[in-house]
Amino acid sequence: MNGIKRKRRFFRKEVLYSKRFLIAVSAATVLLFAISAVPFIVRTVTRQEFILTFPNRDGSEFYREVRLAPRFDSPRDRVEELVNQLIQGSVLLDPYPIFPYTTRVNQVAVTEDGILIDLSSEAAETKLPIESAMELVKKNISDNFSGYDSVTVTVNGNDPVVVNKLLEEKDSEH
């Protein structure tokens, strides 16, 4: 009986230190690593990372947030996605949204040196001063996209400050 136990122990040691066993364990480890790396690779291929800046409610500082969004091939689509992410607002409740949630992107045009963003009229109804809201959009664009000399933001094709004043005058008449 003792001899059988010694043979089993010897056999176990022999198997555990054999080249075939070590190769099989190494192959299994590499396979598991490759399988676990797939989600990270897919995420980087299908998603893009934006760093969004939102105003704090007290107005003294800015809040920065990292957001993963769908990846698009064209610069126009990437800029439009960034603006849509800004319209959605922060995932936290504290920072102010830059624009009302009903705001839509009418048009985005990207040239070699400039970007034009046209928003719907709801953008002029922001709780922030309209100039600050437009500067925040420009800041977010320049933080996430380099190489563009100018960023122009309009509301229904017009200067947002003018549209905001017209809305204020219209509200004061009622």
Q: Give the per-residue pLDDT at 128.
A: 84
What does the alpha-carbon distance between residue 54 and residue 89 come to, in Å, rounded to a whole number?
A: 8
Judgement on whether residues 39 and 49 belong to the same structural domain of the protein: no
What does the alpha-carbon distance between residue 153 and residue 136 come to, in Å, rounded to a whole number?
A: 11
Length of the chain: 174
Judgement on whether residues 21 and 51 belong to the same structural domain of the protein: no
In this structure, what token pair is assigned to residue 38? 């797939």
Judgement on whether residues 151 and 66 belong to the same structural domain of the protein: yes
Sign of the dihedral through C-alpha 12, 15, 16, 21: negative
Q: What is the CA radius of gyration of the chain?
A: 28
DSSP for residue 147: S
pTM over 0.75: no
Judgement on whether residues 26 and 92 belong to the same structural domain of the protein: no
User: How many separate domains does the chain show?
Assistant: 2
Judgement on whether residues 54 and 35 belong to the same structural domain of the protein: no
Domain range for residue 151?
A: 45-173
Judgement on whether residues 21 and 66 belong to the same structural domain of the protein: no
Judgement on whether residues 99 and 21 belong to the same structural domain of the protein: no
Judgement on whether residues 34 and 53 belong to the same structural domain of the protein: no
Cβ-contact 63, 70 below 8 angstroms: no
Average pLDDT score over residue span 84-110:
86
Whether the predicted pLDDT of 82 surpasses 80 = yes
Judgement on whether residues 105 and 123 belong to the same structural domain of the protein: yes
Judgement on whether residues 37 and 121 belong to the same structural domain of the protein: no
**First-to-final CA distance of the chain:** 103
Tell me the pLDDT tens digit for each residue of 10-38: 556 666 667 887 888 889 998 888 888 77
Judgement on whether residues 31 and 64 belong to the same structural domain of the protein: no
User: Sorting pLDDT into bands at 50, 70 and 90, what band is 48?
Assistant: confident
Q: Where are the beta strands (DSSP E) in 71-139?
A: 105-110, 114-119
Judgement on whether residues 157 and 78 belong to the same structural domain of the protein: yes
